[in-house]
Chains A and B, each alone.
Chain A
Amino acid sequence: MSTTTNPGAIDAVDAGAASLLRFATAGSVDDGKSTLVGRLLHDSKSVLADQLEAVERASLGRGQDTPDLALLTDGLRAEREQGITIDVAYRYFATPRRRFILADTPGHVQYTRNMVTGASTAELAVVLVDARNGVVEQTRRHAAVAALLRVPHVVLAVNKMDLVDYAEPVFAAIAEEFTTYAASLGVPEITAIPISALAGDNVVAPSAHMDWYGGPTVLEHLETVSVVADPSDDPGRFPVQYVIRPQTAEHPDYRGYAGQIASGVLRVGDAVTVLPSGRTSTIEAIDALGRSVDAAWAPQSVTVRLADDLDISRGDLIAPTATAPAVSQDIEATICHVADRPLKVGDRVLLKHATRTVKAIVKDIPSRLTLDDLSPHPEPGELVANDIGRILVRTAEPLPLDAYADSRRTGSFLLIDPADGTTLTAGMAGHAFTQAAAGAVRADDGADGAGDEGWDF
């Protein structure tokens, strides 16, 4: 029962300053994704003795003589019995430099929605390919989802290099093909790494078999990649979640607007506009969870107080007047349909954007997109689970949406079934891909996704 020291463990007492990276994995069923994840957890000393023991027991029970690291990440009985992954699972590990949250998403074709889910909060995506097969349809689909969800960094992990004799030309050709494709979709940064998850090459420790590769291992890259954009470049966006009014003897007139800054920086003294009402005021104070501060930025949760007593409630958006978004009741968006029931023209739905939920009607579904080659299919009539498509939505009230390209947090929305609350659709306002890729995706027509003019339908 006593604890033994773990030389690889982090110096935790002094780890308050570690940063946090959220990343997602995508790969086909046989690409060795579970093994890669297991290897990351195992080699970074994040797997503890009792977990490893359980895996060893289970491996022996299946007649395997070495522990099957893939078992570390299979959560449910159905998955263990069938050797598949049926949903997004979250894994946690840490090194002295960083804390990691991994959204482990199944790569099978019918699970596009799971990858969309995992990628929606990820700052980095690891796309796995089998070195023997190279870039396949599924790989292109994973690249497209990462591009669509605007994941800032993509890592191409070329796995099973041990099965192609660790040959550099094999890796170089795959890296070249993938990078060209992903870059054309607008993925801003791509890093290709040759690995063998099974043998452990270049996952955590550098490979002894690939001297020709001079770059970082997967873990080194995860530890060092820069993921904090400069929020002072982004327009301030503050969706009001909740109004705090103590109405006590101590705070008779306190009226604070609680929320999480969705983008940009808020400063005391900023002239702000409240949307959709358009009323204006000035930021008088910012409470950052118990500390009074002069400035706060995304993604901090704060409470903002204004100089004027305005009628503001949950669902309103506070933004600096100089960069306030336009409001509109007509939204053009790319969506991933995530529900088993289809989405049809004329459907009456609820639309949740930031902290506001409004009634809406699906006005048109101009196209469905085949992710393998980004070919548009005009007028599909309906979208079914795992479809990616373009839609036009009319909302009952004006909403201050940004283009998703400009802000993942204020450019995204959900469509919800008003009957039972099912989440139907993940929506991204504005263009699907960058202008470079838009040639291949002719579904865009007219809306200016650059964001500087707001919405101009």
Chain B
Amino acid sequence: MTTVTAVTESAGDADNPYALSHLDALESEAVHIFREVAGEFERPVILFSGGKDSILMLHLALKAFAPAAVPFSLLHVDTGHNFPEVLDYRDRTVERHGLRLHVASVQDFIDRGELRERPDGTRNPLQTVPLLDAIDKGRFDAVFGGGRRDEEKARAKERVFSLRDEFGGWDPRRQRPELWQLYNGKHSPGEHVRVFPLSNWTELDVWQYIAREKIELPAIYYAHEREVFGRGGMWLAPGEWGGPKDGESLQTRRVRYRTVGDMSCTGAVDSDADTIGAVIAEIAASRLTERGATRADDKLSEAAMEDRKREGYF
């Protein structure tokens, strides 16, 4: 072994009184990002669906500005196929913190004939148009998303401050280098910046932090009895969105959700984990990524996420 100075075989700074745990380090970084945006942008908005990543974002934002109010409003792109428990949680949360919620509705666009239902019934890819419309109408210059770089290959290339052109498009070759902690939010009129404060968190970090902070989540994240049917290797919840079809039979199973999105493409997993400790143990032992296990929309093609991001999706 060739070393210039001997390496002390410490257990990774465990004994150092100044060492931060990984959760403290991630929390500190996310708070720094929220405050940076508050200082540099005119009209930031947080994308809030009532899913765990957006709940975590809001929790961090509340911490960043306490004891004052969060200086941002919330935006939900509602596919019209959301789980009722999650919408209920969304509305309660907004009310409890005295926040302002904007809702961009996919259904409205379909009703007006500006979007067409896909043959497979999934509405996730349809979110881009209402999202860009809401950003445009609200004149939002910074949009916080809960995306994490560990989620998917294209997201691994994403920046904390991600510049979008006037069409909301993402060009991986045009992203600005992310140097030190110096985020550059300058943009031209019509452009906006997507900001991802959870960029460096993993699924496990999110759950560990939720446990540590005792954050309440919609009940569907924990094991519960639910009528489901199998499609494409996933347990899907029945609904007006298009299931079950002929040949698909309903059965009652004990399941929980690892991610929560549009009902048409969010699958449940068999689980007995009804406490956060049990959920964490299950995730740590899981052999599947959260999107791989439960998101049909990412399986559309090998480059599905990359293509949607280029069109303006998160």
Taking A242-B39, A258-B64, A412-B179 as contacts, is the C-beta distance between A97 and B269 under 8 angstroms? no
- Give chain A nearest CB distance to B275 CB in angstroms: 10
Stretch of B75-83, B100-108, B215-223, B277-285 at the chain-chain interface = B277-285
* Chain B 27-45 interface 0/1 with A at a Cβ cutoff of 8 Å (1 = within): 1110110011011000000
The answer to whether B22 and A20 touch across the interface, beta carbons within 8 angstroms, is yes
The answer to whether B182 and A260 touch across the interface, beta carbons within 8 angstroms, is no
Interface centre among B1, B26, B234 (most CB of A within 10 A): B1
Q: Does B8 contact A (CB under 8 A)?
A: yes
Q: How far is the CA of A187 from the CA of B2 in the complex (A)?
A: 14
Stretch of A226-234, A274-282, A326-334, A430-438 at the chain-chain interface = A226-234
- Give chain A nearest CB distance to B214 CB in angstroms: 12
6 pairs across A/B with beta carbons < 8 Å?
Answer: A77-B306, A116-B177, A189-B7, A355-B36, A426-B177, A426-B180
Q: How far is the CA of A387 from the CA of B283 in the complex (A)?
A: 45
Query: Which of chain A's residues 394-426 have a Cβ closer than 8 Å to chain B?
Result: 408-409, 412-414, 416, 420-423, 426
Interface size counted on chain B using CB atoms at 8 A:
92
Q: Does A322 contact B (CB under 8 A)?
A: no
Q: How far is the CA of A442 from the CA of B142 in the complex (A)?
A: 44
* Chain B 85-106 interface 0/1 with A at a Cβ cutoff of 8 Å (1 = within): 0000000000000000000000
Q: Does B9 contact A (CB under 8 A)?
A: yes
Q: How far is the CA of A5 from the CA of B27 in the complex (A)?
A: 29
Across the two chains, which residue of chain A brings its CB closest to B301? Answer: A77
Cβ–Cβ < 8 Å partners of A301 in chain B: 27-29, 31-32, 35, 64
Q: Which of B200, B267, B286 contacts A3 (CB 8 A)?
A: B286
* Chain A 187-204 interface 0/1 with B at a Cβ cutoff of 8 Å (1 = within): 111111100000000000
Interface size counted on chain A using CB atoms at 8 A:
111
* Chain B 206-239 interface 0/1 with A at a Cβ cutoff of 8 Å (1 = within): 0110001000000000000000000001110000
Interface residue ranges, B against A (CB under 8 Å): 1-5, 7-14, 16, 18-29, 31-32, 35-36, 38-39, 63-69, 149-150, 153-154, 156-157, 163, 172-173, 175-182, 184-188, 199-200, 202, 204-205, 207-208, 212, 233-235, 267, 269-271, 277, 280-289, 292-293, 302-303, 306
Q: Does A259 contact B (CB under 8 A)?
A: yes
Cβ–Cβ < 8 Å partners of A221 in chain B: 7
Across the two chains, which residue of chain B brings its CB closest to A92? Answer: B150
Across the two chains, which residue of chain A brings its CB closest to B201? Answer: A92
Q: How far is the CA of A95 from the CA of B31 in the complex (A)?
A: 25
Cβ–Cβ < 8 Å partners of A13 in chain B: 277, 280-281, 284
